[in-house]
Structure 1
Amino acid sequence: MRIYNSGYYFTNEQLGVILDRLGDSYEINHLYIIEKRRDIIKYGLIFLNIIDFISILFGKLEGNFVPTTKSVMVYVYAQNEYKNYQSSQLYSLHALLHELCHAYYHNIKKEESEEDCDNFATNYLNKNSKFFSKVMDWKDEWEVEEED
């Protein structure tokens, strides 16, 4: 798997540890951590459909999974509302896990829903908060809350 990442919010090592913990069923070919809108062009991600592309540019989409290339994109700048480095990391991890859930269902050739993947991401983060705190070098544990 190839990781495209500037390294401000996550190191490739941190991402690798997280992906390794999930196992082979969550296998993807490419992971893009998009910190700034210009990274979309930098990484050549203009192949997305126009509706998604507009949503991505305006920060309305936190991530997506492209089945044809088995690629996951996480748009960290969509988390700017938090104005807090650790919160941006946390909710970007949530987006990453959500998109990896889509990859999982794609890999096992089973239907899934947005709600399934959202629940997976929230539950996985909350059940493994000690692991994530250690990997991310956070001082405290936390709990992710779903927004309505």
Structure 2
Amino acid sequence: MSEPASILVLNGPNLNMLGSREPAIYGRDTLEDIEAACAERAELLGFALDFRQSNIEGELVTWIQSARTEHDGIVINPGAYGHTSIALLDALTFAELPVVEVHLSNVFRREEFRWHSYVSRVANGVICGLGAQGYLFALDAMARLVERD
């Protein structure tokens, strides 16, 4: 019997403040609430889940680099780094894994600088504007992506 697919869920800067950070934009779910929902969905899908958050760009890059040999796919909410980080783009490209990008808010209804994401260039798909539910949709999509690989 083979081991379950391992999915890395990464969360970028300020996402540790969910629940109290601008709830009109990001909702009232905390990152812990989202992690619990993801763990439940991962179990239903038969995934092993590795859920992490960092405010430090280099730490996210290091985790992505390690994912190349430790995980089967990456779900990432890069936060503001999505709009600024070529380093994340390079690491995700090197990882050669399926990637689904998630944003809690609809970035296209917000400031124009949020309309561009370096992460989107390497992502298999992007989910935005659906709040915490977007993470669950990302895991559902990852099930199909990992199955194809």
Fold match by TM threshold 0.5: no
Q: Which has the higher contact order (CA 8 A, sep 6+)?
A: 2
Please identify which structure carries the higher strand content.
Answer: 2
Alignment TM-score, normalising by the size of structure 1 = 0.34
